[in-house]
Structure 1
Amino acid sequence: MSGRHQALLQVGDTRRWGIRALVVLTLVTGADYLVWRWLDSINWAQWWLAVPLVLAETYSLLDAFLFGATVWRIRQRAEPPPPPPDATVDVFVTTYDEPVDLVMVTARAARDIRYPHRTWVLDDGARPEVQDAALTAGVGYLTRSADWAGMPRHAKAGNLNNALLATDGEFLLVLDADQVPHPTILDRTLGWFDDPRVALVQTPQWFANVDDDDVLGSQAPLFYGPIQQGKDGWDAAYFCGSNAVLRREALMQLGVAGYVRAVERSIRDALRTAGRVIARARTEARAAGPAVHAALGEVAGAVRRARVEVAAGEPVSEVTYRFQQRVDAAGRGVVTDDLARMEADLAEIAGMTGRSGAAVLTAELDGAVLTRLAQRDWSPIAALESVKALVCSVDVDLAGEAQPVMPLATNSVTEDMATSMRLHAMGWRTVYHHEVLARGLAPQDLAAMLAQRLRWSQGTLQLALRQNPLVQRGLSVGQRLMYLATMWSYLAGFAALVYIAAPIAYLCFGVRPVNADGDAFLLHLVPFLLTTLLLFRVVGHGMRTWRGQQYSLALFPVWIRACTTAAANVLFHRDLGFVVTPKTPTATPRPAWRLVRVQLVTMGLLVAAAVVGLVRLHLGIAPSAYGTWVNLAWVAYDLLVLSVVVPAARHLGLATDERTTA
């Protein structure tokens, strides 16, 4: 090991232990503050604001805990191992409606990656001009097969799933249409796959069209740095949709497992329905003979047994075969009994009509005979056949999908995180390689940025509602916490609403949600605030993190909308849609004030509240001078954070594409 590498490890260890000390201090001071708030300072007389405020503060402490847990095992990896000499690699450039020139800049750079590979443009827009440009550049071209016509498309996940079944490389490099790769990207990442348990190597996303001011907060140095490195320490770094290499074997195993789960789900649904059919048949056949009741009881038992076998993980084909054999055995006894009853009925009818039993079958029956037949309890054979048909008709081909095997998850518009969680649950490992190896284009105006953030938050919350990481089998405790940390962060909109409303209510109406004197408040709050700020300062040392902190509050309408729409999608099946983030500014750029009108109105209310508070203080009708000044400082901080929307609305994007592979 070189002296330089040893020095880096020593610096990393020192920093890690310093971060851990600050995490402990933050949690201790935060717990002290929160216990005091819940036990001694809630103004129950004004509970309608006091309780939401303390709940928002509890949310913030849990958020700090999850952040602390993330950076607790922050991991700075050494140099990657050399790449294998003979691996086969497919490079996928995904596109839908991006400009052809933009796509081809990326495609040509992908073609020129040094490590031997094949490059494919995955054109979900099926555009002839893209196909012509790709073939001219010597790049492969793929679009959806005919099997996808009229089927759910699953956006980018569907595009990649289609390509996975049309190619055969051992590894896949996934690039968004705007992410120009460095020629050494495969040389720097493939070596991590020496560990046969590694399924994914993720690298940062970095944007060339963002200046130092980063008005739209596009660069994410805290996420593509300490946060992903911290998740990596817990073996929970996840796929971010682009600039990542994946192992085909892991994805196909994931797809097969998903197929099996889908078929098992169909079997369970069929067996539940079969149970209801038999229960109804037993109710309707109360007057039937003992053979009928015995047969229906046997079939009900067969349903229960099959459900247990499916739950135990037995092969579906064996479960269904045994079930059908049991139903057939029960049905034979019913047929024998039913034939005897039918012969008795025919004999009785023959006596009524004076004809032989055979003649009854062909004679024109009078009303009395029809009445006699209508009163008969008919055989439950139809119910038994219905049960068999239900189980036999299970859709093992998953005809509602274009292809039965879907390696990348399709249950969320953030297919990347959903896929990662499933890989981790199956025991696969992931690597975060902290080196910029591709340069992309960030959203160039506010509308595009808001659409992107909304999609990210909607997809993450979809996943939280459908696959809560806390109850997913196969995940370690650390992995559960790391996925929860990302999902938890998108609930911040509701806390932000309370943090904005509380000082307005105090300054304008004298509402006091906190019932305490100033000294006690400062004694408990200040240590927590100082340690939290110091923790963020140390973790983000040398990084520009202020924009991210501003947008975590300033985008509160987006986070709230994401929560409500994701819940509506999961619970009521309302469509979310999928919008590709535009990579070029609008044709007629102009300030987008309407997109931030909620924030602008909020800023106006805060300013008005500050004026009212000062007037009330001057007139001597404020609850206290101390409380007024504290809330004025609170308003000033809220205004400082929200002010980011003003330059964001006026931002018209950079005119040039500065991507480079240098």
Structure 2
Amino acid sequence: MAFYFDKFEDRKPPEPLKYNPGLELLWQFFITVNLVIGGWYILWRWTSSLNPEALWFAIPLALAETCAYIGLVLFSINLWKVKDYPRRSPPQTIQQCIHHELSEDRPIRIDMFFPSYDEEEELVKLSIVDALKVEYPHKIDIKIHILDDGRRPAMKALAEELGVNYITRNSNEGFKAGNLRNAMEQTDGDFIVICDADTRPFPTILRHTLGYFRDPDVAWVQTPQWFFDLPEGQSLTHTLERRYGAAGRSIGRLVERLYGPVTIGSDPYVNCPQMFYDVIQRRRNWANAAFCCGAGSIHRREAVMEAALKSYAESIEKQRQEQDKAIRKLTGEQDIDEGLSDMMIQQTVLDTEFTPYKFHVSEDIYTSIVLHSDEDRVWKSVLHPNVESKMLSPQDLQTWMVQRFKYAGGTIDIAAHDSPVFRKGMSFAQRVMYGATVWSYFGALWNIMFLLAPIIYLFSGIAPVAAYSQEFYLHLIPFIITNELAAMSATWGISGFKGKSNYLAFFPVNLRAIWTVVKGEQIKFPSTPKDRQEGNFFHLVLPQFGIMLVTAIALIWGWMNYQFNWYGDINISGLIVNTFWCLNNIVAMAGMVLSAFWRPEPEPQTDTGDKEPLAVNV
């Protein structure tokens, strides 16, 4: 494992996108025009374009387009503007971070948590060694803790070797959330830095983030996650130049000037999270709605405990109301004996777990929801735009899908049982932001229709619109053009093509997550493997490959039907529209399918004899 890191150690994280008010104004102009045209298009689709002879086809497609348009509206509100939280100098003492006056001031206390279950000791060692290098311009009390849910003697020995604290427990109840709760019971830091076993913090993480906590209402700061081991790839310009010489270089430069940077051969699983953190999460700062995403976040202990107490009280009250309702139904009486009611409350208190972090597969976003909805205390969240740590990316398609299923399933489960959209205490803007997150995961339901629609047309000869006429193009083309211009101006500096393609190709995982929640099954808590899983992963992309294959056959069939006029209403206009639609879908599926066969470049073989384990000086 250790030698795997050597070739990546010198890599530097990307700088956050520089705020450009001109680009932001351009984005706001284009997206406003796009939403107006999009609303006009959706209205026209429902009122004037449905094929009356094929409503079984026309209505589902129009409904899918409407759902996608709602998602566009939510996404546009999310990306509306950049409003970074003001950076402030690092506080010298805890008094500078709280409302009330202390009788005696003192240095800030920090707990750095590294939860672990089955990760290699060598991997955790690299993280702890980097944590020991964290610096701060003032006197500060930093304690580092290995939270070992694997109860391994070797991990305990590692903690003793490095001079850090070792915390374990007798069971794995609550998984990571339970592990964090157990650690909080045994520590007393003012702020908690949440890491994963492979999170390697930079020396600057506290110096750059604790200044936000000078505002006593800031509950947590989330820093971007950076996977430093991703294939870097090459620019489109360089790739085309290598293959086609000066002509390729000119074409590549032209494309990148018009569309922004395009990288070939990088990030086969789209693990690069810059689009999520630097665009989506960062632009939630204006609405105080950037949610916690686990590793690389810094939490105010007071806020976490207040959220836990509030959630605990809410849980007991909810159970009491359900019990009262059940007893009234059983006895047929309106009033319940006070003694019986008090006894039930006492039993509920004993049976209910007090959990600083919700026992949930998405405990991080759940804690964010509880804090953001606190009606008694307007807690603030901050997305710090600079990368302050590095970590490992998923190394294979199976690991990547396990991780994405947890994200999707956890979010959908929260939406089904404790939706932030309807939770008391949320501002309207926060409801919209959380709603956008939830809505995006339900996108698989209508993305299926976008994948099947051109196939149905090419095989059946039945169109979902009354006609592929001039009126159709007058409504559709302006919407597509303004949408692309808006997306380019909103994400300038980050290539968004892979993200959009994978959102479409991700439908099997999202559908499985939705179905799991609908069936009432619990989303499991498997830890994400840190080592590459070897094997054939083609079976994981059979749905995407099936879509590619059927779409390609439909294309051939449709053109043959047009040529020989076998049946249906295949005309050249509809054929061209659906051909481009099919090609877009094939390209979108192809990236996911090819990722199943991706392998890291083999290491050069050198005769150096037996390698010694990586030595780390502390």
TM-score, structure 2 as length reference: 0.83
CA displacement 1:476-501 (0-9 Å, x = unmatched): 00000000111110112122211111
| 3-state secondary structure, aligned to 2:147 | strand
Q: CA deviation at 1:10?
A: 11
Q: CA deviation at 1:221?
A: 1.6
- The residue number in structure 2 matching 1:629 is 576
- Aligned pairs for 1:42-53 (under 5 A) are 42-53=50-61
Distance 2:216 2:296 in 1: 21
Distance 1:136 1:124 in 2: 19
Q: Which residue of 614, 624, 641 maps to 2:559?
A: 614
After TM superposition, the structure 1 stretch with the greater mean CA deviation from structure 2, 575-584 or 226-235, is: 575-584
2:271 is aligned with 1:218: yes
Q: CA deviation at 1:539?
A: 1.4
- The residue number in structure 1 matching 2:34 is 26
CA displacement 1:445-476 (0-9 Å, x = unmatched): 00000111111000010111112222111000
- The residue number in structure 2 matching 1:441 is 392
| 3-state secondary structure, aligned to 2:145 | strand
2:299 is aligned with 1:246: yes
Distance 1:561 1:128 in 2: 38
Q: Is the 8 A contact 1:220 1:548 kept in 2?
A: no
Segments of 5+ residues of structure 1 without an aligned counterpart are 1-7, 280-299, 304-322, 325-387
- The residue number in structure 2 matching 1:175 is 195
CA displacement 1:120-139 (0-9 Å, x = unmatched): 01112222211111111111
- The residue number in structure 1 matching 2:79 is 71
Which residue identity lines up with residue 265 of structure 1 in the other structure?
K
Q: Is the 8 A contact 1:591 1:652 kept in 2?
A: no
Q: Is the 8 A contact 1:271 1:391 kept in 2?
A: no
- The residue number in structure 2 matching 1:409 is 358
Q: Is the 8 A contact 2:24 2:489 kept in 1?
A: no
Q: Which residue of 192, 196, 207 maps to 2:227?
A: 207
After TM superposition, the structure 1 stretch with the greater mean CA deviation from structure 2, 96-105 or 617-626, is: 617-626
2:498 is aligned with 1:544: no
| 3-state secondary structure, aligned to 2:79 | helix
Q: CA deviation at 1:92?
A: 0.5
Segments of 5+ residues of structure 2 without an aligned counterpart are 1-15, 94-106, 233-265, 604-612
Query: Judging changes above 3 Å, is the alpha-carbon distance between structure 1 residues 75 and 391 closer, same or farther for their aligned structure 2 residues?
Result: same
CA displacement 1:28-69 (0-9 Å, x = unmatched): 011011011010011132122211111111111111111110
Distance 1:108 1:136 in 2: 11
| 3-state secondary structure, aligned to 1:176 | coil
**How high is the sequence identity, in percent, across the aligned residues?**
32
- The residue number in structure 2 matching 1:269 is 322
Q: Is the 8 A contact 2:85 2:285 kept in 1?
A: no
CA displacement 1:493-513 (0-9 Å, x = unmatched): 122211111111111111211
2:466 is aligned with 1:512: no
Q: Which residue of 402, 408, 426 maps to 1:457?
A: 408
Distance 1:17 1:130 in 2: 53
Q: Is the 8 A contact 1:590 1:650 kept in 2?
A: no
2:217 is aligned with 1:197: yes
Q: CA deviation at 1:405?
A: 2.0
Query: Judging changes above 3 Å, is the alpha-carbon distance between structure 1 residues 641 and 276 closer, same or farther for their aligned structure 2 residues?
Result: closer
2:129 is aligned with 1:108: yes
Query: Judging changes above 3 Å, is the alpha-carbon distance between structure 1 residues 277 and 635 closer, same or farther for their aligned structure 2 residues?
Result: closer
Q: Which residue of 182, 185, 194 maps to 2:205?
A: 185
Q: Is the 8 A contact 2:191 2:301 kept in 1?
A: yes
Query: Judging changes above 3 Å, is the alpha-carbon distance between structure 1 residues 78 and 390 closer, same or farther for their aligned structure 2 residues?
Result: closer
Q: Is the 8 A contact 1:12 1:76 kept in 2?
A: no
Query: Judging changes above 3 Å, is the alpha-carbon distance between structure 1 residues 396 and 22 closer, same or farther for their aligned structure 2 residues?
Result: farther
- The residue number in structure 2 matching 1:87 is 108
2:603 is aligned with 1:652: no
Q: CA deviation at 1:9?
A: 12
Q: CA deviation at 1:623?
A: 2.3
Distance 1:81 1:461 in 2: 39
Q: Is the 8 A contact 1:23 1:68 kept in 2?
A: yes
Q: Is the 8 A contact 2:17 2:493 kept in 1?
A: no
Which residue identity lines up with residue 187 of structure 2 in the other structure?
T
Distance 2:537 2:177 in 1: 31
Distance 2:301 2:191 in 1: 5
- The residue number in structure 1 matching 2:371 is 423
Q: Is the 8 A contact 1:209 1:654 kept in 2?
A: no
CA displacement 1:60-80 (0-9 Å, x = unmatched): 111111111001132234544
Query: Judging changes above 3 Å, is the alpha-carbon distance between structure 1 residues 627 and 250 closer, same or farther for their aligned structure 2 residues?
Result: same
Higher helix share: 1
Q: CA deviation at 1:277?
A: 4.9
Distance 2:19 2:303 in 1: 35
After TM superposition, the structure 1 stretch with the greater mean CA deviation from structure 2, 65-74 or 444-453, is: 65-74
Q: Which residue of 67, 75, 88 maps to 1:59?
A: 67
Distance 1:518 1:229 in 2: 42
Q: Is the 8 A contact 1:585 1:653 kept in 2?
A: no
Distance 1:638 1:231 in 2: 30
CA displacement 1:348-397 (0-9 Å, x = unmatched): xxxxxxxxxxxxxxxxxxxxxxxxxxxxxxxxxxxxxxxx4464143457
- The residue number in structure 2 matching 1:363 is none
| 3-state secondary structure, aligned to 1:578 | coil
Which residue identity lines up with residue 522 of structure 1 in the other structure?
Y
Query: Judging changes above 3 Å, is the alpha-carbon distance between structure 1 residues 654 and 249 closer, same or farther for their aligned structure 2 residues?
Result: farther
Distance 1:614 1:530 in 2: 27
- Aligned pairs for 1:135-174 (under 5 A) are 135-144=160-169, 146=170, 149=171, 153-174=173-194
Which residue identity lines up with residue 595 of structure 1 in the other structure?
L
Find the structure with the greater CA-based Rg.
Answer: 1
Q: Is the 8 A contact 2:87 2:212 kept in 1?
A: no
Which residue identity lines up with residue 564 of structure 2 in the other structure?
L
Q: CA deviation at 1:248?
A: 0.3
Q: Is the 8 A contact 1:95 1:123 kept in 2?
A: yes
Distance 2:287 2:518 in 1: 29
Which residue identity lines up with residue 162 of structure 1 in the other structure?
N
Distance 1:271 1:611 in 2: 65
After TM superposition, the structure 1 stretch with the greater mean CA deviation from structure 2, 516-525 or 193-202, is: 516-525
Superposition CA RMSD, Å: 2.2
Query: Judging changes above 3 Å, is the alpha-carbon distance between structure 1 residues 9 and 61 closer, same or farther for their aligned structure 2 residues?
Result: closer
Q: Which residue of 440, 443, 456 maps to 1:492?
A: 443
Which residue identity lines up with residue 600 of structure 1 in the other structure?
F
- The residue number in structure 1 matching 2:549 is 604
CA displacement 1:406-453 (0-9 Å, x = unmatched): 11122x311111110110101211011000110110100000001111
Query: Judging changes above 3 Å, is the alpha-carbon distance between structure 1 residues 272 and 515 closer, same or farther for their aligned structure 2 residues?
Result: same
TM-score, structure 1 as length reference: 0.78
Distance 1:302 1:227 in 2: 50
- The residue number in structure 1 matching 2:519 is 568
Which residue identity lines up with residue 406 of structure 1 in the other structure?
T
After TM superposition, the structure 1 stretch with the greater mean CA deviation from structure 2, 48-57 or 429-438, is: 48-57
2:529 is aligned with 1:582: yes
